[in-house]
Chain A
Amino acid sequence: MTLDAKAPAGPLETKWDRHKFDMKLVSPANKRKFEIIVLGTGLAGASASATLAELGYHVKSFCLQDTPRRAHSIAAQGGINAAKNYPGDGDSIWRLFYDTIKGGDFRAREANVYRLAQISNEIIDHCTAVGVPFAREYGGLLANRSFGGAQVSRTFYARGQTGQQLLLGCYSAMMRQAALHHIEMLPRREILDIVVVDGCARGVVARNLITGEIEKHAAHAVVMATGGYGNAYYLSTNGMHSNVSATFKAYKRGAFFANPCFVQIHPTCIPVHGTYQSKLTLMSESLRNDGRVWVPKNPGDKRSPNEIPEDERDYYLERKYPSFGNLVPRDVASRNAKEQCDEGKGVGPTGYAVYLDFRDPIERDGRNVIERKYGNLFDMYERITGENPYETPMMIYPAVHYVMGGLWVDYDLMSTIPGLFVLGEANFSDHGANRLGASALMQGLADGYFVIPYTIGGYLAGTPLPDVNAAHPVFEDASQQARGRIQKLLTLKGHRTVDDIHRKLGHILWEYCGMTRSGEGLLKARELIPQLREEFWENALVPGASDDLNQTLERAGRVADFLEFAELMVEDALSRKESCGCHFNVAYQTEEHEALRQDDTSCYVSAWEYAGEGTPPVLHKEPLAFENVHLTQRSYK
């Protein structure tokens, strides 16, 4: 099978407009005859559900949570980018496009990224119209800030709660459509399988998390917006329930999985403090605008930070990257923090932390100014750690935050299974090997509000779809398999809890497939993961029953999938013979320890095809052609 990205030919600027015109349309009267399943209610899923319903389609919306308002998009703090150029500081669609492609270390598709930059402006218009209370200037116009090291101010924000406010905008639009019976809401459902009939995605098998009932749902197309797989690492900034299961099931049914080793590790999180820890909390990247990162010069220095004199401190980012200093991109900042800790200079009780110090900015600007800028973040830090960052430097450490990898999709956001569309973090499409700050919200909403409503129409109008309902034998077959797996999980009566095994998987991935990777380490992981999987299926302990609300059973199913998926991540990391963005292989680095791309041999998207149990997956490569940008080495010196 050859991968066809279906990006329209012709000039970049007009590709999307021409494509919209070229696609077939579904007439208004016919839209109501189509049923569309949307999985997930984060920014991508909720915006897609609302918009498809507004157009007249009948939508079935599934989510894990008790209501569509809680998906983990809600936790995004910083903001959302758009190329409005309101501050008049030289921004443009072209610049946003270029920054995103470059930030992704030239491993994303030009046509998709350009469309994203184009759509960014419509997103701001729409979100403002649905009542998102974006920050404003005193004259009443929208405010912007610079974010994540961008050289222009293009980030729109609603205090530190931008993700929440954008999601509530989508949610309220969904509720409006639910009241009109255009959306049927199915909360507290877990997706157990994607049903493919005659080669096309035609429905799902889901488990009702309250009753345990296995349900079959048929439709004309399935839209998957189930988020990322960062929780493979056990500890991450993701929500506790974020998982890979739905996308992994789709992979097993024939959807290719793209770039699974591209995982973003965010530099400013509150460090791990104990084995009981269940998740990591992000501290907004904006803190690096003023805070200074340092470690003691001498390894093993256990004095309290305020007792360490100035000449015994190493402000290593400022020293190594004089022009960007503390504002280097996320991947560079994270790797450097790890390097310092590996040299024994880490601080805090575990030695896995570095200081983020506000002493100098407080002296320079006064406490009031710092409080106005970062007060809520300082309060949050104090609530979690019990320490006051106005007096003692914060401690931070990198944590798994976002995955650029996801199901492979073409320009229409359709996977290699016809009729299965993938949106948001669940797809691989726009961020290449590294995502820039404030661009995840933009992509989720672009996909859901402004891309899928067009492309799904093109698919439905152009594809003959026979009548299929949930009584079809393929549905029965899939639900039998799902039931069988649940029964198998419930027979596990060993002596290790599911979380215990998940934690162990996290250690393996963090150690060998984390911020820095090596051939040797990845081979080690490839050996350890199947052993751990065996341990899970022999010694895990899953209490309770299947016909009941059973949270351990839910977790067990997700961890079982992570244990298989982790191998694919490692396989992908092994196969990519270069360093790029967040994928840093020690064998490919410059003399100054920066990522060294191999554009001659590795300028491609990896897309993995499932080949059956016990058989290695097959790697397909989508070559990336850059017709409009020149590939350069990123440098932040």
Chain B
Amino acid sequence: MSGIINLTLKIWRQKNAEEKGHLEVHKVKDIDTDMSFLEMLDVLNEKLTLEGKIPVAFDHDCREGICGACGTVVNGYAHGPQPGTTLCQLHMRHFQDGDTIVIEPFRARPFGIVKDLMIDRSAFDTIIQAGGYISVNTGQAPEANSIPVSAEKSELAMDAAACIGCGACVAACPNASAMLFVGAKISHLALLPRGRVEAAKRAISMLRKMGELGFGNCTNHTECEVQCPKEISITNIARLNREFLKASFGSAFK
């Protein structure tokens, strides 16, 4: 099954947030097609280190597709060409010998570049701080089975809650909108009875924060859904819009 390929990489290099970046060309040889994409970058970094050069910085941790730390734009696609796959789970068997691969950081104004392929996604934390929670302190909870939740609603909530907060949706969107990220969180919580209590306030507050931070609006390009490694559906954006409209007509939050 496995094979060996040689590749040309064009990688974004940028020393820090202030300095200008550029694409740098590197050749990597004898890449086993059973490697993951990040293992291929490890090989490049080992080579650069032994040559006395500075390795390429990139975020990663679990390498199982769940922590949301990794992610770059590969040949124009966030997390690369395989649908429903994070960069760490993309394997080199999806590339051909002799390919040139362009690797860039996720780009959006609210995500500053930290170094090379690493970005600052703290804006996502700020959005969650604006209401992406249920206000309950430890110890206050009633018996877990006291409020039944239909299996269907619970499954829909889980679909939305599967978001890993990687930022691919923002990178994929021509408007750098975070509507899929925000919609997923609002849907997850609004679908559950405990989360409904604050639903109106949450929708207004999180959307307002998203705008303040410089994310764009949704104009239905649907690129976010296509490039989301967890295949979060844009129906979550529709649900967000409904929640927002309901909240705006009501008087929950001025």
Which residues on A are within 8 Å of B, measured CB to CB? 47, 50-51, 54, 65-72, 74-75, 84, 86, 122, 124-131, 133-142, 158-159, 161, 164-165, 168, 171-173, 175-176, 178-179, 185, 187, 210, 239-241, 273-274, 276-279, 281-282, 380, 383-387, 449-450, 453, 495, 497, 499-500, 541, 543-544, 548-549, 551-552
Contact = CB atoms under 8 A, between A and B. Distances in A.
B162 A161 contact: yes
Given A133-B161, A137-B151, A66 B129 contact: no
Given A51-B138, A165-B161, A136 B154 contact: yes
Interface stretch (B85-93, B213-221, B241-249): B85-93
Given A129-B142, A159-B158, A495 B133 contact: no
Interface in B15-51: 15-16, 32, 34-36, 38-39, 42-43, 46, 49-50
10 contacts: A67-B121, A126-B141, A130-B133, A131-B157, A159-B162, A274-B34, A278-B36, A386-B34, A453-B138, A548-B115
A123 B69 CA distance: 27
Interface string B100-129: 000000000000001100101110110011
B62 A449 contact: no
Contact of B150 (A47, A54, A140, A240): A140
A201 B59 CA distance: 32
B252 interface: no
A596 to B, nearest CB: 36
A176 B135 contact: yes
Contacts of B114: 210, 549
A129 B144 CA distance: 7
B128 to A, nearest CB: 4
A441 B214 CA distance: 37
Contact of A161 (B52, B60, B66, B149): B66
B145 interface: yes
Interface in B124-177: 124-125, 128-130, 132-145, 148-151, 154-155, 157-158, 161-162, 164-165
Contact of A387 (B1, B36, B125): B1
Contact of A74 (B2, B67, B121, B192): B67
B2, B62, B194: most-surrounded residue (chain A CB, <10 A): B62
Contacts of B1: 386-387
A77 B55 CA distance: 33
B57 interface: yes
A67 B124 contact: yes
B192 A133 contact: yes
A241 B138 CA distance: 29
Contacts of A450: 138-139
B122 A67 contact: yes
Interface string B173-208: 000000000000000110010110000000000000
B61 interface: yes
B254 interface: no
B151 A276 contact: no
A66 B59 contact: yes
A131 B63 contact: no
A376 B65 CA distance: 13
Given A278-B39, A384-B89, A497 B145 contact: no
A490 to B, nearest CB: 13
A279 B63 contact: yes
Contacts of B85: 383
A127 B139 CA distance: 10
Contact of A130 (B118, B134, B154, B157): B134
A552 B39 CA distance: 15
B43, B46, B125: most-surrounded residue (chain A CB, <10 A): B125
A240 B137 CA distance: 32
B146 to A, nearest CB: 9
A587 B50 CA distance: 44
A134 B145 CA distance: 11
A383 B125 contact: no
B64 interface: yes
Given A128-B194, A131-B157, 11 more contacts: A67-B121, A70-B62, A125-B142, A125-B144, A130-B134, A136-B149, A136-B150, A159-B162, A161-B162, A383-B91, A386-B2
B144 A65 contact: no
B80 interface: no
B90 to A, nearest CB: 8
Contacts of B144: 84, 124-125, 127-129, 142
Contact of B62 (A74, A86, A130, A274): A74
Nearest to B127: A175
Contacts of B135: 176
Given A161-B66, A549-B118, A172 B134 contact: yes
Nearest to B55: A552
A129 B136 contact: yes
Given A67-B124, A386-B1, A449 B138 contact: yes
Contacts of A497: 46, 49-50
B179 to A, nearest CB: 19
A541 B54 CA distance: 11
Contacts of A139: 148
Given A140-B148, A241-B61, A384-B91, A75 B136 contact: no
Contacts of B120: 66
Contacts of B54: 543-544
A251 to B, nearest CB: 24
Contact of B122 (A66, A137, A499, A544): A66
Given A139-B148, A549-B115, A65 B141 contact: no
A337 to B, nearest CB: 21
B188 A133 contact: yes
Contacts of A133: 154-155, 157-158, 161, 188, 192
Contact of B39 (A161, A171, A277): A277
Nearest to A121: B144
A173 B129 CA distance: 9
A122 B227 CA distance: 39
Nearest to B46: A497
Contacts of B63: 239-240, 278-279, 281
A164 B67 CA distance: 8
B115 A126 contact: no
Return the 10 tightest CB-CB contacts between A and B, nearest first: A140-B148, A129-B141, A172-B133, A179-B129, A133-B158, A128-B144, A125-B141, A239-B61, A51-B138, A133-B157
Contacts of B192: 131, 133
A350 to B, nearest CB: 12
A274 B61 contact: no
A69 B128 CA distance: 11
Contacts of A449: 138
A541 B69 contact: no
